Amino acid sequence: MDTLSTNRAFGGTQGVYSHASTATGTDMTFSVFVPPHEPGAKLPVVWYLSGLTCTHANVTDKGEYRRACTELGLMLVAPDTSPRGDGVPDDPEGSYDFGLGAGFYVDATRAPFDQHYRMWTYVTEELPALVADRFPVDMARQGIMGHSMGGHGALTIGLRHPDRFRAVSAFAPIVAPSQVPWGRKALGGYLGDDAAAWRRHDAVALIEDGARVPALLVDQGAADQFLVEQLQPERLAKACADAGIDLTLRLQPGYDHSYYFISSFMADHLRWHAERLD
């Protein structure tokens, strides 16, 4: 692991790091905020998954999480959204919603993406092992959250690993990717036409198929330009109601899809996680 930068913030350390990933076959960059803590202490961790076109840098620079993480004693880890580098295939049409920056947190099975686009394995296995080895983290106290495509990732990973993640939340998540254009393009492009494989990466379908977590927190901007066509939180509300999952879905008037929205409610989400990671 190489240290790209470290900065003091709110008494803690904000770092950016890179390493050679065996999952993706590329170098990967991620950020970690470690709040001030007693020597030898092990800290709960919240994983933050970013959305389409983003890298680790978006939330690191704009998320406004460090004050709350310091107050609550939480680490925050932000990985990249896809593999990058020479030889990594991109959307041949050059669109923003597939390929580089749009890994959708799946392990691709369709060529040519299957060689590098293994973000599920990277986020759920390889990066946690690296973080556990190099940082003062208590892996028995993990939460996960994300935004948009990253909200999709947080929900699906949390639902499939309920024993690992004690708290799951999202900002404007893609809740039913198999039902909306962004998701159909990504799941088809990475996984092919196998409907069962799609359902394992669709939060609403996972709940319909029996996946359970005790509770979810979702914030959604009411002025989000993607709300009607791509996000459709009402699908998640129905699935959770049918399954008996305690969903707190907050429709925030006037807020859009940007980091102005995310930063406005970041502290709320971190407090929600801290209560469940105590």
56, 152, 257, 269: the active-site residue: 257
∠ CA 200-124-58 to the nearest 5 degrees?
Answer: 100
Enumerate the β-bridge partners of residue 147: 171
Rounded Cα–Cα distance for residues 41 and 62 (Å): 28
Cβ burial of 242 (10 Å; 0-12, 13-18, 19+) is exposed
Distance of CA 198 to the CA centre of its chain: 18
80, 202, 219, 224: the active-site residue: 224
21, 31, 50, 148: the active-site residue: 148
Enumerate the β-bridge partners of residue 13: 8, 34
Catalytic (active site) residue 148 = yes
3-state secondary structure (DSSP) of residue 17: strand
Per-residue b or e along 106-138, where b marks 16 or more CB atoms closer than 10 Å to that residue's CB: bbbeeeebeebbbbbebbbebbbebbeeebebe
Catalytic (active site) residue 224 = yes
Which among 30, 233, 40, 263 has a CA at the least distance from the CA of 151? 233
Rounded Cα–Cα distance for residues 171 and 150 (Å): 9
Phi, psi for 78 (deg, rounded to 5): -125, 105
Pairing of strands 43-49, 137-147: parallel
Q: Which residues are catalytic?
A: 148, 224, 257
